[in-house]
Amino acid sequence: MMRIGLFLLTNIAVLLVLAVVMSLLGYTGITDETGMALDLEALLVFSALLGFGGSFVSLLLSKWMAKKMAGVQIIEEPSNQAEAWLVQTVRELARRADVGMPEVGVFPAQQANAFATGWNRNKALVAVSQGMLQRFSQDEIRAVMAHEIGHVANGDMITLSLVQGVLNTFVIFLSRVIGFFVDKVVFRNERGLGIGFFLTSIVMQILLGILASAIVAWFSRFREYRADAAGANLANRQGMINALRRLKAETELPNELPESMEAFGINQGMRSGLRAMFASHPPLDDRIRALEENRHG
């Protein structure tokens, strides 16, 4: 996920906006009356407000952003038999998973891919690429849609927001503690918050944010196994395995989801080295093996 996925990009943007707004409102209450010591309690409140604020605003915007970034066309009235079958299949799977009927859409990409997003498990969005709709069998598409409904039913976007909110809070808190220490000890600033604080805080927020992204990516990989298991239960295990094998066969095609949207797609392609640490999805071979061995179910 997070090269950085749409959710993280929105989260970062919201954090910056909230920080600017609080600065314009004159909130600098992270030091005591002397300016020579941090008010850790006030700093923690400040960090949590920014951290969880950024995360949950990102969650609320996720469906709207997904539509814009991927060019999703919502199926209001099916225009052909394939769209009618897709809507009916999603309706059946949503009923089985006990979630509200999501919006169903198609996005213009020839690579086989699909994603689900939304702040509410009863008001989600499920979208499939044009290429998948054209080339995959109905059993394979049904398994993929079951995987995406699994994400919705498992509340993965909400859980991700909570995880991201906690990590945001600690990133903001620790970066400012380190910045304050450098400002006072290294720069020997004896008045309020100096340039050392602001420069160090920015650098540390970037570095700690990268580490937080790796943690969120690990969490996302774990949830992919859970969504595969949900897909196997809602559709059927062999159908889910066949769909993942078909996705693997198509990994040589270019990924036409915007890079910021790759974190939400079922197929993220191959990752190696450091990139694997920030991949939102486990290798397809590992996912297939987990289903064959009935793990994570």
- Enumerate the active-site residues: 148
CB half-sphere exposure, 212, CA atoms < 13 A: 27
Residue with tokens 């020579």: 36
Alpha-carbon dihedral 212, 213, 219, 220, rounded to 10 degrees:
160
User: In whole angstroms, what is the distance from residue 71 CA to residue 44 CA?
Assistant: 39
Q: How far apart are CA 70 and CA 34, in angstroms?
A: 51
> How far is it, in rounded angstroms, from Cα 35 to Cα 69?
45
- Which residue's entry shows tokens 């923690």? 44
- Distance linking the first and last C-alpha atoms of the chain: 22
Residue ranges of the alpha helices (H) in the chain?
6-24, 40-70, 81-97, 130-135, 138-153, 156-181, 195-234, 237-249, 274-277, 284-292
CB-based contact 156:119 (threshold 8 Å): no
**CB within 8 A of 62, min separation 6: which ones?**
6, 7, 10, 117, 118, 119, 157
- Tell me if 171 sits within 8 A of 212, measured CB to CB: yes
DSSP reduced 3-state for 238: helix
The string of DSSP codes covering 249-280 is HTTTS---S-GGGGGGBS------THHHHT-S
The residue written with tokens 């008001």 in the block is 123
